Structure 1
Amino acid sequence: MKTKITILETSDVHGNVYPINYGTNLPQPLGIAKASSLIKRIKREQSNVITIDNGDLIQGTPLTYHYVKNMDQQSNPMIEILNHLEYDAAVIGNHEFNYGMASLKKAVSQSNFPWLSANIVHHSTKETYFGLPYIMKSFDSGIRVAILGVTTHYIPNWESPDHIKDVHFEDALHATKRWVQYIHEEENPDLMVVSYHGGFEKDLSTGEPTENPTGENQGYRICNEVDGIDVLLTGHQHRKLSGEINGVVVVQPGFNGECVAKVDLELKKTNDSWKLIHKEVEILSVSEEESDSEVLDLTHYYEKEAQKWLDQPIGNIDGDMTIKDPFKARLEEHPLVEFINRVQMHFAKVEISNTALFNNSARGLPNNVTMRDIVSNYIYPNTLTVLQITGEDIKAALERSASYFNVKEDETITINPEFSTPKPQHYNYDMWEGIHYVIDLAHPIGDRIVSLNFKGEPINKEKLYEVVMNNYRAGGGGEYRMFQGKKILREIQIDMTELLANYFLEHGVISAEVNHNWRVVINGKGHN
């Protein structure tokens, strides 16, 4: 007797329902409305289907941001969709915490499915924080499937401490090992599935390291060091990956609802036990799918209100603050970056600030600015933190940022692969305001800051300075460990998108300008 089990996985949907780019409202081949059509068709055509969301579901678009800030007396639209699709389970992702614990708990309480994360536990009791570490799914054939959920334990390096009070993040690898063993001993499942909101630290085929061994991603180790796993569903890195590691089927379906991962498992019954005899994995694009009208109807009101909010005019730009070349905007001071830094300094009441140009989709601000323009450039729900740090910390942070660049023999400047592979991390290159500095790319990484001054005097490495930055960076996110544990002087608990909008409403017209307080050079000379 043979039978087949199909697992469908979404991951890192990041609040994308409608197939649009919110910055332009132009069509994009993504979103869970399109994914829904694919999922429903597969469910109609096949029996024994398990549907899992692997995390980073409820945050990421103006739709979800506007819901949390202005409509949270209603049901969460992302939860309504997964309830409608009758998902079997979801895993807590790192971005689930971005809107605060109250918002996350509300989403969990509205869900008709369990949220899994075996390694997110109460500080005091060490019991799982969100309920179940795993579920058992049984089918008419008698096959019993165990689904264990785990989450990257690196979250305290990114998240605001207020959002994760009383929460302990156990090492994901260790928790997986312990729970898989427990499940095999206590449940004796026919299939063991681990859904891990994390990715791979090594190349799937060669085993070569693809990133620094921070522990953020442990998928490769999980496959090699944990016995008894049949399938590892992954995410977090926004990659499209499928294959097999040490006999474990692995898959990662990209992000923003662009794809759905599909794992087909065939089992044969011998005597009284089921044996896995065939496994097949594929990543299915949703680009040719029609958006599911039922999903669009569920979220129509939320979308309509978000679109009205996005089209609110909030101010004007005198000059050019648009971005034509995002790489050049990191290589030479750009009015948008300077503007964001100045807004941060204004509300934090300090003289030094840093910020990043988060991704290559940022288009800058047009002359007539709306909320749509703000949120399409500043895409994260960050708040601001003022740290007290030493001059030595400032130098170390600048050296970390300066490692963003590589130089070819012909002195062409490129991006260091550590910031682009396996996942784009442009948000980890900071540009500073309030200090004057020079990055010389002729020098080796770690020794590229050749000039560093504050108010006309060299920065004193032992002196304390007040610096404003976003909460992600202040927690050490992006391997800025020099900021971890430093004294927090104050926090501005208003999202940066609101602060940027408020600044426009205060000033009306903003001049697009730069003061040339930093330069990137090669051997002291300008670059190509």
Structure 2
Amino acid sequence: MSLNRRKFLGGTAVTSAGVVLAGGAAGTASATPQPQGHGNGNGNGNTKRHTFSVLGTTDLHGHVFNWDYFTDAEFEDAGGNDVGLAKLSTLIDEVRTEKGGRRNTVLIDAGDTLQGTQLAYYYAKVDPITARRGPVHPMARAMNAIGYDAAALGNHEFNYGIPLLRKFEQQCDFPLLGANALDARTERPAFPPYHMIKVPTPRGRDVKVAVLGLTNPGIAIWDRAHVEGKMTFPSLEQQAALYVPRLRSMGADVVIVSAHSGTSGTSSYGDQLPHIENAAAIVAERVPGIDAILVGHAHAEIPEHRVTNAETGKDVVLSEPLFWGKRLTVFDISVTWERGRWVVESVSSEVRNTNTVAEDPRITRLLSREHERVIAYVNQVIGTATEAMSASEAAYKDAPIIDFINFVQAETVTAALAGGAYADLPVLSQAACFSRSAAIPSGDVTIRDVAGMYVFENTLEARLITGAQLREYLEFSARYFVRTPAGAAIDPAKLTNAEGIPDYNYDAVSGVTYDIDIAEPAGSRIVDLRFAGEPVADDARFVLAVNNYRASGGGNFPHIAAADQLWANSDEIRNTIITWVQDNGEIDPARFASVDWRLTRAGQPVFD
């Protein structure tokens, strides 16, 4: 443990002397007074005003280095962005110096830390931190070294199960906050709901900053297998309304919410839950007493967004620093001393770009061994391919690389159901283009090649559906395409992601054939749906090989979440594909590549 840190046990902050601090089981409080700071130039004798800064990150998704383990090269994207905690560390140090030093800044995160890179996967599955005498998670080591004060829980924190999350929590020198993550049995907080931090001022009048952590209710759907019967996730608004007044009564001068929830007011899971997925702006509008919200989950860049609270008429400042460590949010907060307490005078925010700085050698040295181990792991050759396959056009054309995923999934489910009551039913499969840069080379194939096709830790299930349900499923998926009249020019770059639908929510289904008429409105696009050359009857029955995210309601696709589960596997689909390559030795598209679907207009194909 680093200096001036507390251990957090069951939501109670305990000093090194074993003294329980204010807040009890409901939250944590600062145990160690911090050295006094100069208040960003305001420590000039004016004791009635002080300015300090709250720095925020979110959706780091296992990124420490500015490195892409799927391409085995430095990270690169079209926007010229950089990623990772090593970059953030340098930028954080610069901002701390600019704002009056570490003593005059607070550093928080809004969740989704534990999943997303092969570095994160390696220390969850290959060399797990939960093993006896297991390693310290690289994200914990890096964030401890940088000096985080608190982090909210993201939904992806639960992807590897609660035991691994609890081990990660033990390894962090800062609390993981989740006011709306409750123990299912006691309905009490399963994690500290909040953390109180004292920011010193020149004359000793500390500014008491409360950080309230809120996570995403969708965890109950997306990670049902890990949390059902163990934890519940009420709405962000409900828990904020419960805790913000409590924090104010405890003497909080400033209340910051770290929310793993976007600002749109919408939910990808529709009405499957009574709680809104992207509720940060709703919390700002409806819950009085909040000064700023660090937003996460939506992977958006929001330098500053002001929401007027309906009760107080005061602005709440929201900011979201993109994702993967590409940006750093900086909230500048000015307070004045009035009637024996600090009162917020103004709040503003901006985002800083990590591509303006070099990686911090302190962080890269700290984790160089872990980095090299993962590089060696992902570059293991596991088989060969007879020809190259690419996902560059897979979002709008039936591509062999997606066919390969569907082929392995369907084969796995067929084998699992063999000899059972459903063995004679046709097995279909769904897959999405998770990464348009995914590619399988001709010749040697490595773990990273296969992992690059399937970047999420999804597992495989088999669900029973009818022909009518399949058609509705495909219609829902086809909303992804922008309606384009017959005869109009086609620009593939503008054809997809209608209404902001991400690539991972467009499913291509194998085992049947169908056309998608993009000249028609959403809901009326599926044409000539056939199985084995015959039209699909409404009462036909199929088995759908489907990932657990979709099966649990992710994306709000119709019928699947309520469909009978015939089989489920706890192994990641990525590992299933890797094992298939190892067992078969060769990937030959001649075994699986076929044109099952195509885009059309008035019966004519959009692409040759």
SS at match of 1:443: coil
Matches within 5 A, 1:318-329: 318-323=386-391, 326=392, 328-329=393-394
Matches within 5 A, 1:241-256: 241=302, 242-246=304-308, 247-256=315-324
Residue 211 of structure 1, CA deviation? 8.6
Report the CA distance shift for 1:383/1:87 in structure 2 as closer, same or farther (over 3 A): same
Equivalents in 1 of 2:84, 2:502: separation in Å? 22
Once residues 267 and 555 of structure 2 are traced to their aligned partners in structure 1, the CA distance between those partners, rounded to angstroms, is 16
Alignment of 1:355 with 2:431, yes or no, is yes
Q: Which residue of 2 aligns with 1:170?
A: 234
The answer to whether the aligner puts 1:32 opposite 2:118 as a matched pair is no
For the residues of structure 2 that align with 1:501 and 1:418, how far apart are their CA atoms? Answer: 29
Contact kept, 8 Å, 1:408 with 1:414, in 2: the verdict is no
Amino acid at match of 1:133: P
> Taking structure 1 as reference, are residues 416 and 174 closer, same or farther at Cα in structure 2, changes over 3 Å only?
farther
The equivalent residue for 2:220 is 156
Q: CA deviation at 1:58?
A: 1.3
Of 400, 419, 426, which aligns to 2:497?
419
Alpha-carbon distance between aligned partners in 2 of 1:403 and 1:365, rounded to the nearest angstrom: 32
Q: Tell me the secondary structure at the aligned position of residue 346 of structure 1.
A: helix
Aligned mates of 1:458, 1:506 — CA distance in 2: 36
Q: Does 1:519 align with 2:598?
A: yes
Matches within 5 A, 1:262-301: 262-301=330-369
- Name which of 384, 390, 404 aligns with 2:460: 384
Q: How many residues align?
A: 516
Could you tell me which amino acid in structure 1 is paired with residue 573 of structure 2?
Answer: M
1:487 to 539, 544, 564: 564
SS at match of 2:559: helix
Letter in 2 for 1:157: I
Equivalence for 1:71:
127
1:43 aligns with 2:43: no
CA RMSD of aligned residues (A): 2.2
Deviation, 1:484, is: 1.4
Residue 395 of structure 1: how far off its partner (Å): 1.1
CA 280–213 in structure 1, closer or farther in 2 if over 3 Å, else same: farther
After TM superposition, the structure 1 = structure 2 runs for residues 414-453 of structure 1, keeping only pairs within 5 Å, are: 419=497, 425-453=502-530
Question: Which residue of the other structure, out of 198, 212, 221, is the alignment partner of 1:138?
Answer: 198
Please say if residues 403 and 416 of structure 1, whose CA atoms lie closer than 8 Å, have aligned partners that are also in contact: no
CA contact (8 A) 2:195 2:210 kept: yes
Higher mean C-alpha displacement, 97-106 vs 513-522: 513-522
> Among residues 213, 235, 247, which one is paired with 1:183 in the alignment?
247
The 2-side partners of 1:451 and 1:133 are apart by: 53
Q: Which residue of 2 aligns with 1:393?
A: 469
Please name the residue that 1:9 is paired with: 56
Counterpart code for 1:428: N
2:553 and 2:560 in contact (8 A); partners too = yes
List runs of 5+ in structure 1 lacking aligned partners: 203-208
1:174-213 correspondence runs (5 A) = 174-184=238-248, 186-201=249-264
Range with bigger deviation, 293-302 or 233-242? 293-302
- How many angstroms apart in 2 are the aligned matches of 1:213 and 1:490? 25
Unaligned runs of 5+ residues in structure 2 are 1-47, 76-81, 129-133, 309-314, 415-425
TM-score by length of 2: 0.81
CA distance 1:418–1:251, change in 2 (3 Å): farther
Corresponding residue number in structure 1 for 2:45: none
What is the rounded CA distance, in whole Å, between the counterparts of 2:268 and 2:532 in structure 1? Answer: 38
Measured in 2, the distance between the counterparts of 1:122 and 1:174 equals 16
Q: For the pair shown, which has the larger CA radius of gyration, 1 or 2? A: 2
Q: How far apart in 2 are the matches of 1:211 and 1:159?
A: 15
Q: With a CA cutoff of 8 Å and minimum separation of 6, indicate the structure with the bigger relative contact order.
A: 1
**2:227, 2:572 → 1: CA distance?**
14
Q: What is the alpha-carbon distance in structure 2 between the residues aligned to residue 302 and residue 212 of structure 1? A: 37
Task: Measure how far apart 1:213 and its partner are.
Answer: 7.3
Shift of 1:367: 3.2
Once the two structures are TM-superposed, the CA of residue 416 in structure 1 deviates from its matched residue by 8.2
Mapped contact 1:16–1:61 kept (Cα < 8 A): yes
Counterpart Cα distance in 2 of 1:33 and 1:183: 33
